[in-house]
Structure 1
Amino acid sequence: MHLWPVRVYYEDTDLAGIVYYANYLKFIERARTEWIRELGIDQSRLKQESGAVFAVRRVEADYLAPAVFDDELSVTTRVVRITPARIELEQQVLRGDTVLFSALVTLACLGPDMRPRRLPGDLAQLMRS
């Protein structure tokens, strides 16, 4: 499981002073990018060398409790399942031990033609570790 810290800034909140719902998607996107980076995968190089990119295919999200300005949050990323061309992840945004947001995210691996393709090389094995 990967853990990524995030602080809530004023720009993340809405008129009510709570995190705007779409910003949770930004938080989990950034956490996924950092997870992939920490695995040693350079997404720019991956695209350049193999033409492979990742695209969000599906997000199932549950908003459980609000975060507010200046909260210190953490985003967890855990692999649920990997198929030859897809990666399914569970991601949560927490304040301490309290889950504020939970999502099941399906990523598709796409080739240069933007059609589904197999994950290149040993990428699946690396992500399972």
Structure 2
Amino acid sequence: MRTNEIEVLVNWGDTDKAGIVYYPNYFKWFDIAGHQFFRSCNLSPSKLEEERQIIVPLLDARCNFEKPLLYDDVITIRSTVEEVNNKTIKLKHEVFKEETRTAHGYELRGWVKQTSEEIKAEPIPKDVITILTENVPPTDKSPKTWFNA
């Protein structure tokens, strides 16, 4: 399945009073990583909306926290298509500090047609399924791309 990676620098504002990343930031990073994933395979949410009247709303999300992250840590978020069903896409996200996985989780997104009259889930087209299920490894991260999220 297709995979993409982004790097994020943990900012001071991402941490709590103890200096550890505050948990909602993982969901913010998952959202950023998901949007970057779709951009990496030429399916950016804005392009989908403009060209196909499709939005990809979040239906479910989960995160398991394994090790703490701190201010100034550089992390990599690896996003991989885990499932493509008739009307949903499940992206698995793994957060790494160097080689150590610090958290993992997922986002479940719908494939939804939005018109002025209604919003309705639709079957994912075959061309999109092909793109999402291609065995594409993560893109080369050199030179480093920083997302100050």
TM-score bucket (shorter structure): over 0.9
1:128 to 112, 133, 137: 133
What SS does structure 1 have at the residue aligned with 2:111? strand
The higher-RCO structure (CA 8 Å, 6+ apart) is 2
Q: Which runs of 4+ in 1 moved over 2 A?
A: none
Aligned partners of 2:109, 2:124: CA distance in 1, in Å?
11
Equivalent residue runs for 1:18-57 within 5 Å:
18-57=20-59
What SS does structure 1 have at the residue aligned with 2:19? coil
Which runs of 5 or more structure 2 residues have no equivalent in the other structure? Answer: 135-149
**1:80 aligned partner:** 82
In the superposition, relative to structure 1, how do residues 121 and 42 fare at CA in structure 2: closer, same or farther (>3 Å)? farther
Deviates more, 1:18-27 or 1:33-42: 33-42
Aligned partners of 2:15, 2:35: CA distance in 1, in Å?
22
Give, as a single letter, the amino acid of the residue that structure 2 aligns with 1:80: E
Give me the identity figure in percent.
Answer: 22
Deviation by residue 1:96-122 (Cα, 9 ceiling, x = unmatched): 121111102211111112321122461
The two structures, once aligned, show a CA RMSD in angstroms of 1.4
TM-score (structure 2 length as normaliser): 0.81
TM-score (structure 1 length as normaliser): 0.92
- Size of the aligned set, in residue pairs, is 129
